[in-house]
Amino acid sequence: MKVVVVSCDQMGNIDIEDLRAKAELHKQNLSSLMVTYPSTHGVFEANIAEINQIVHDNGGQVYMDGANMNAQVLITSPATIGADVCHLNLHKTFCIPHGGGGPGVGPICVKKHLEPFLPGHFEFTKEARNNKMNWGLTSAPFGSVGIISISYMYIKMLGKNLLNSTQISILNANYMMERLKNSYPILYQGTKGKVAHEFIIDIRPIKKNIGIKEEDICKRLMDYGFHAPTMSFPVPGTIMIEPTESEDK
């Protein structure tokens, strides 16, 4: 396989015409599109369903990064917008702490037509023992049970209130964006001037004018007991702020 990079427009969104042209050019060998939704730049791309359809029309599958499920749960879903495969990061959305190298487990979800290609586990079925293509990927059939049980209890205890978690995470990000936008440039916003559950502030003008960089700001926030935001991702010299639903005002 080889990676074909798709261009972005000035607002950070996928350039649909560039995607269409490249999908058609490579349709004889098109494997898949790797996409994050909401986008890593913190916006619900309005054309995500069309983007995924273009890939399907040219014989490919859509693999969605589930890092931003915090802004999707019970509002939309990877399947709703046309993804075929999605891994669910258990940190952030499902109560597992972020950091320390990340959690060692996360479920992979697929649409029905890909079910035959999922790994089995030799502990469970005779077929899996006899068919090496269907063996498990790890010796523990469900990964790290110590982690998964936390997410399971979180989901069971919240139930339908998971919707509230999703809504509050989006509200918190937009609240902070509104408070900060007159002091820092907000790099990307949606068509209605809003963001998803995270947003990016540009520190490059500050660094140019007075020499303070994004790393200095994050370290100073830690001095005051705040979890440092993400630095220089996806844009170098910026800070991506993701308050989630659990931080108070």
pLDDT at 102 over 90: no
Task: Report pTM.
Answer: 0.87
Q: Contact, 150 vs 158, CB < 8 A?
A: no
pLDDT at 175 over 80: yes
Residues in Cβ contact with 49 at an 8 Å cutoff, skipping those fewer than 6 apart: 81, 82
Q: Contact, 6 vs 22, CB < 8 A?
A: yes
- Taking residues 13-36, what's their average pLDDT? 97
What pLDDT, on a 0 to 100 scale, did the predictor assign at position 33?
98
pLDDT at 226 over 60: yes
- Taking residues 58-63, what's their average pLDDT? 98
What pLDDT, on a 0 to 100 scale, did the predictor assign at position 228?
87
What is the C-alpha to C-alpha distance for residues 94 and 197, in angstroms, rounded to an integer?
A: 15
41-57 residue pLDDT tens: 999 999 999 999 999 99
Confidence of residue 194 (pLDDT cuts 50, 70, 90): very high
Residues in Cβ contact with 114 at an 8 Å cutoff, skipping those fewer than 6 apart: 61, 84, 85
Could you give the domains of the chain? Answer: 16-158 (3.40.640.10), 161-241 (3.90.1150.10)
pLDDT at 129 over 70: no
